[in-house]
Amino acid sequence: MKRTKFSPTFKKFACEKEGIGMKATLIERHSLLREVIFFIKSRGLILLRALRNRFDNDLQRFPFGETLKSGAVISFSESDLWNPDDDEQNWILTAGKIQNLRVATRKLNGLEIPAGKVFSFWQHVGYPGRSKGYVTGREIREGCIIPTVAGGLCQLSNALYDAALKAGFEIVERHKHTKVVKGSLAEKGRDATVKWNYIDLRFRSSSSFRIEIDLAPESLVVKFRSTTDHRVQQIPSAMTVQPSKLNDCFSCGNFECFKHPGKVVLQKRKAVTTFILDERWSEYEEYISKTAATGDRFVVPFTPDQRIRINRYTWNVAKGFRARAVPLMALYRSLSIRLFSGGGNNVFSQMLRLDSKVTQRMLKHIPLESTHIVISQNLLPYAWAAGVLGGRTFDVLMTRLPMEKLHERLDAAYRHYPSSSTLNDFRAPDELVDLESMALTRSRHIITPHREIANLFNNKSILLDWSRPRVQVKTRSAGNRILFPGPALARKGAYEMRRLASELKLSVTIMGGATEEDSFWNGLSVEKAGADPFEGVGLVVYPTYVEHHPRLLLKAIVLGLPVITTTASGLQPSDQVTIVEAGDYDALKRAVLEKLPEEIIPIPSMSNASR
């Protein structure tokens, strides 16, 4: 936009021609002198209010709780996040407002207020500065909408006031806006403006209540819950107040105004998708290469142009896009896992803790204009807890079963084999399980090549093809052995494999050093795989309970070997691949008997085969 100076007469004429009447007069109110006066007055009011609050016995901070979580919803308020009247420049202020709502709602969601106690907006939200995560949004001041840090929190106070009215609460303090913005609750006289800390919203209830706030992709939802039989007050519909014209710094056209943000900020900012990625899967890299658009952003552990990187976490697809990396934290995580001496659930807890640290570092690089997120599953619960997914749509790249389903699967295996020393490993805390479940429920799409995972989410899943690995073609000896492509652990189906080897007199090649116990394979014809695990193998049998990325099975398929596995492997059945239910030993045994040629093993008697 070209910077042009106008005379006061021309500016007034231009404003009137655009049908905005007194806009020129409003603009003249913004000057350095007036800004200094406003600053001094506001600081005086802040100090005065702070002194009053210090001696106000009714003013308290209340904790988050779970006591009223199952209570009935006694009131509900919903308002749109996005303003359909925004132009290309104003849109970024609305995006800033939504970011500010993400920060503030975390301070209020889950608060439980005792009966008769006063709830104060600022007492719980606190000072809204940049150091707290707030960004530039929009604020109404002197008849204009201007860019300001933490602007837009009034949408939250509006919704709280609206819900409090509907619940019949006593309103202790409330202030109206001086300007009515189209589409806001102010049109219905249900608004409550706030300004740190001297313009507050306060109310109380005769019964205890819980505040729940949800940032859906398109709306802000506030709910109050209570276990008391609380009849929701029916508020008669108020007369609609005519909204004001949008007098804002982006569209007034006066670059000379003291409050104008300048033409640099006026550059068009488009909505973008941000890919927040961790472990690289070739299936996901191919998918992203087809869906990423110009202007999208990437946040990854390593970028391809970094000298020090770990290939497992280096996303080649990020090349050519605006990408941010967290290499130091990613390296720290990898080294910590390698050096950690614990085992079982100890190492799993360590992995979860480090994933949380990596996620927190990555979240700092999400651009304000990102309206859609594509995120790796292991980062999801921490992103959900941080509130960054609120007001956005998001897709999840699934790298394993949901924690809730994973626990159920391990519990089922434990009922079969209660003597296992490993089936109680890899258990996440209940809080983390709940966070992931809530986020997966809210997600737009679940993206996975794993058929079992895709089936869990029905219509919103996107099923990808498994990438076929490149396998070196060479002459192998005729197969007369059975390959069990996993460690001797219960969750990988080791107990079923041991029983098959014993009953059918199989010669088994095993992989992995982990085992349930040192004597697990005693008395059986078992040998560890060499450099080429498929050498001498005629059949691959993998009765696993948990398998998220079946690389070895995919290699076996490429080599043309018959495969018998469970639904947990995520593969599609075919002439070459036989699928049985995890834990169904009889079905597994029948499948093995059908696939094994007579020259490999003697066919057992019918009584033995039916065991």
Tens-place pLDDT, residues 467-479? 998 877 665 566 7
Predicted local distance difference test score (pLDDT) of residue 181? 60
Confidence band for 3, pLDDT divided at 50, 70 and 90: very low
Query: Does the pLDDT value for residue 168 go beyond 70?
Result: yes
Predicted local distance difference test score (pLDDT) of residue 13? 36
Tens-place pLDDT, residues 533-568? 998 899 999 999 999 999 999 999 999 999 999 999
Q: Within 13 Å, how many C-alpha atoms sit on residue 417's CB side?
A: 22
Query: Does the pLDDT value for residue 288 go beyond 50?
Result: yes
Closest CA to 247 of 182, 185, 195: 182
| Per-position DSSP letters for 222-251, written without gaps between them | EEEEESS--PPP-PPPPPPPPPPP--BTTT
What mean pLDDT is predicted for residues 124-131? 95
Decide: helix, strand or coil at residue 375. Answer: strand
Predicted local distance difference test score (pLDDT) of residue 20? 45
Query: Does the pLDDT value for residue 376 go beyond 70?
Result: yes
- Sketch out the chain's domains with CATH numbers: 8-226 (no CATH), 272-463 (3.40.50), 481-609 (3.40.50.2000)
DSSP state of 468: P
Distance, CA of 23 to CA of 14 (rounded, Å): 10
242 touches 257 (CB < 8 A)? no
What mean pLDDT is predicted for residues 74-88? 88
Query: Does the pLDDT value for residue 186 go beyond 70?
Result: no
Tens-place pLDDT, residues 292-336? 999 999 999 999 999 899 999 999 999 999 999 999 999 999 999
Query: Does the pLDDT value for residue 61 go beyond 70?
Result: yes
Q: Please report where in the chains the tokens 């007492």 appear, as a residue.
A: 123
What mean pLDDT is predicted for residues 122-131? 96
Decide: helix, strand or coil at residue 293. Answer: coil
Query: Does the pLDDT value for residue 76 go beyond 80?
Result: yes
Predicted local distance difference test score (pLDDT) of residue 480? 81
Confidence band for 606, pLDDT divided at 50, 70 and 90: very low
Tens-place pLDDT, residues 209-259? 999 999 999 999 999 999 886 554 444 444 455 554 445 555 554 445 555
Predicted local distance difference test score (pLDDT) of residue 601? 53
Distance, CA of 355 to CA of 298 (rounded, Å): 18
Decide: helix, strand or coil at residue 404. Answer: helix
What mean pLDDT is predicted for residues 104-129? 96
Q: For the chain, what percent of residues have pLDDT higher than 90?
A: 66
The first and second tokens of residue 592, run together, are 């093995």
Global pTM? 0.84
Predicted local distance difference test score (pLDDT) of residue 177? 75
What mean pLDDT is predicted for residues 91-102? 92
Predicted local distance difference test score (pLDDT) of residue 596? 84
- Asked whether the bond before 316 is cis by omega within 30 degrees of 0, the reply is no
The first and second tokens of residue 462, run together, are 């996107």
Tens-place pLDDT, residues 46-55? 899 989 999 9
Entry field: residues in the chain: 611
What mean pLDDT is predicted for residues 182-207? 82
Query: Does the pLDDT value for residue 598 go beyond 70?
Result: no
Q: What SS3 string covers 184-214?
A: CHHHHCCCCCCECCCECCEEECCCCEEEEEE
Predicted local distance difference test score (pLDDT) of residue 14? 36
Predicted local distance difference test score (pLDDT) of residue 609? 38
Query: Does the pLDDT value for residue 1 go beyond 90?
Result: no
Predicted local distance difference test score (pLDDT) of residue 425? 82
Confidence band for 10, pLDDT divided at 50, 70 and 90: very low
What mean pLDDT is predicted for residues 96-107? 96
Confidence band for 98, pLDDT divided at 50, 70 and 90: very high
303 touches 330 (CB < 8 A)? no
Predicted local distance difference test score (pLDDT) of residue 514? 86
Closest CA to 453 of 569, 573, 583: 569
**C-alpha pair distances (Å), 306 with each of 313, 323, 324, 368:** 12, 12, 11, 26
Confidence band for 189, pLDDT divided at 50, 70 and 90: low
